[in-house]
């Protein structure tokens, strides 16, 4: 009988804390949160061939092309490059799977899932840890991205950059930490012709010890909710006409939690700015075209406790 009481106690804790019990992930899982659920959703390689890889050459070959496929990474793969991921692909990491110096690029592609991976120390001459460009329907979930702050700020590039008109993108339950330039949305101040259509959700992520871009958002629309921001420099930067909906996030020891440059806007509600200030002018993005559930700012820490590469396939 003791095990029954233990299960009930754990379930009760989950309800009280606002953090659902973590379930074992499946290779055929599809996006269930944010913009990536719209217009038929993001299924990646669900139902396709399954390949397990443990070398850079095998990874590069396995994720190429547009056929439906699930690629599972095992162990640590080391290099100094970025690997291009084709459409209709799920890239999943087994427990502990790590890309050391190897980034992933989703370029001119759609319907891609990246989950449960650790990616670190991708040099700037290779590219971003994860770079998403001119893409649609991408779900980045339970990843752990980092480098270090002991090198020059341009020694590495971005941890997770979303540029060139990407739509229906969701970043969820991920950790971005110990880095200079975290997550850039929108290519440049002069790229409005592409980037005004951008749509990105950030939900249940942790940004910690990041100097800037947590995220920096040009043009387009962004929904940023139930994230934890700790010990960062610049916070959420809404720029150049971006419209953000920023809800029930928690900031601790962040210099500028939410601010605007060059005419960016935000609707902010329910946030705990940790004594900092929201200086962004109020915008027009009061709702998003998908359903979602908010936890209170007081429950955010417990709700993101499982963020990062914590799944089991």
Find the mean pLDDT for residues 248-275. Answer: 97
Q: For the segment 4-44, what is each residue's pLDDT rounded down to a tens digit?
A: 333 334 344 333 434 444 458 999 999 999 999 999 999 99
Q: How confident is the model over 113-165, as pLDDT tens digits?
A: 999 999 999 999 999 999 999 999 999 999 999 999 999 999 999 999 999 99
Q: How far is CA 145 from CA 47, 181, 258, 274, in A?
A: 28, 11, 22, 24
**Tokens 């890889």 — which residue?**
53
Query: 199 in a domain, yes or no?
Result: yes
Rounded distance between C-alpha atoms, residue 117 and residue 145, angstroms? 8
User: Residues near 193 by Cβ (< 8 Å), separated by ≥ 6?
Assistant: none
For the CA atoms of 147, 149, 155, 158, what is the dihedral angle to 10 degrees?
50
Number of domains in the chain: 1
Q: Which residues, including other chains, have CB under 8 Å from residue 12's CB and lie 6 or more apart?
A: none
Q: Active-site residue among 105, 115, 213, 218?
A: 213
pLDDT of residue 23: 53
Q: What is the CATH number for 139? A: 2.160.20.10
Give me Rg for the CA atoms of the chain. 19
Residue 24: predicted pLDDT = 81
Residue 17 lies inside a defined structural domain of this protein: no
pLDDT tens across 41-74, in order?
A: 999 999 999 999 999 999 999 999 999 999 999 9
Q: The domain containing residue 295 runs over which residues? A: 44-304
| Distance, CA of 170 to CA of 182 (rounded, Å) | 16
* Active-site residue flag, 213: yes
Residue 39 lies inside a defined structural domain of this protein: no
| Residue 31: inside a domain | no
Q: Is residue 38 part of a domain?
A: no
Report yes or no on whether pTM surpasses 0.75: yes
Query: Is 160 within a domain?
Result: yes
Q: Is residue 20 part of a domain?
A: no
pLDDT at 188 over 70: yes
Give burial (CB, 10 Å; 0-12/13-18/19+) of 181. Answer: buried
Is the residue at 94 inside a domain?
Answer: yes
């Amino acid at each position: 009988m003791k095990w029954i009481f233990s299960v009930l106690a754990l379930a009760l804790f989950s309800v009280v804390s606002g953090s659902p019990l973590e379930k074992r992930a499946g290779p055929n899982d599809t996006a269930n949160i944010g913009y990536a659920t719209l217009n038929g959703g993001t299924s990646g390689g669900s139902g396709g061939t399954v390949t397990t890889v443990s070398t850079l050459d095998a990874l590069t070959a396995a994720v190429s092309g547009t056929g439906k496929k699930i690629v599972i990474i095992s162990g640590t793969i080391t290099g100094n490059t970025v690997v291009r991921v084709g459409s209709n692909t799920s890239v999943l990491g087994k427990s502990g799977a790590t890309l050391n110096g190897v980034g992933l690029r989703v370029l001119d592609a759609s319907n891609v899932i990246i989950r449960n991976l650790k990616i670190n120390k991708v040099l700037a001459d290779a590219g971003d840890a994860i770079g998403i460009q001119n893409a649609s329907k991408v779900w980045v979930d339970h990843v752990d991205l980092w480098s270090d702050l002991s090198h020059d700020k341009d020694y590495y590039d971005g941890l997770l950059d979303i540029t060139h008109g990407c739509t229906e993108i969701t970043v969820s339950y991920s950790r971005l930490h110990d880095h200079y330039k975290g997550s850039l949305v929108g290519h440049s101040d002069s790229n409005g012709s592409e980037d005004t259509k951008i749509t990105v959700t950030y939900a249940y992520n942790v940004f910690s010890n990041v100097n800037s871009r947590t995220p920096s958002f040009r043009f387009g629309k962004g929904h940023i909710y139930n994230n934890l921001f700790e010990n960062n420099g610049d916070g959420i930067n809404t720029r150049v006409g971006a419209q953000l909906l920023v809800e029930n996030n928690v900031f601790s020891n962040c210099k500028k939690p939410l601010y605007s440059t060059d005419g960016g806007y935000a609707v902010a509600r329910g946030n705990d700015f940790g004594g900092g200030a929201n200086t962004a002018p109020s915008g027009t993005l009061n709702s998003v075209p998908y359903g979602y559930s908010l936890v209170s700012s007081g429950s955010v820490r417990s709700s993101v406790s499982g963020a990062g590469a914590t799944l089991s396939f």
